[in-house]
Amino acid sequence: MKSFLAVLLLLFLMFSCKPKETHKNATIETLDQFSDLQNIIDSEAQGVLVLNFWSIHCPPCIKELPHFNRLETEYQDKQVRVLLINLDYIKALDPKFYPFVKKHDIQQEIMILKDQNYTKWTEQVDPDWYGALPATLIIKGKKRHFRFGSYEQYADLKKDLDSLISH
């Protein structure tokens, strides 16, 4: 009888101690300076990197988020990494940002760029960009495609990615 209870207790512990599944963005990396993001860009030499600069206070940004989810799903076997680079003010993160991510079930990898001195680094993304959102940079090796403004249609995002990949 004791061994039966011991086995039962062991099974109970095994199944009750199962780690909870956590949301991919339960913890989100924060980058202090643009140079931290540049290091990530430089390390992605093998594949394609899609950087979408956005804010939770930007309706066009929010509207296009599903396109990046679809893009990541369709290109998962083609070394395409999608990074959503959030530019919201840090003070708004806890009360608004994390609930927003959870509510909208954002699956793409998010990084928060705290460097609010846009004039110092936006030119490194694209010489004509002054920091208005949304903006997307697609990088493959030395090739770059920058788009200021939202992707109204998924087909436009796909077309920009495909044209960079095919060259």
* pLDDT (0 to 100) of residue 20: 46
109-113, strands of its sheet edge to edge: 29-31, 109-113, 80-86, 48-54, 135-140, 143-148
Instruction: Name the 3-class secondary structure at 93.
Output: helix
The whole-angstrom separation of Cα 137 and Cα 85 is: 11
CATH 3.30.70.270 fits domain 24-166: no
What Å distances lie between residue 163 and 81, 108, 145, 150, CA to CA?
16, 22, 9, 18
Q: Residues 81-97, buried b or exposed e (16+ Cβ, 10 A)?
A: bbbbbbbbeeeebeeeb
Confidence of residue 96 (pLDDT cuts 50, 70, 90): confident
Percent of the chain scoring above 90 in pLDDT: 54
pLDDT tops 80 at residue 119: yes
| Predicted TM-score (pTM) above 0.85 | no
Cis peptide before 134 (omega within 30 of 0): yes
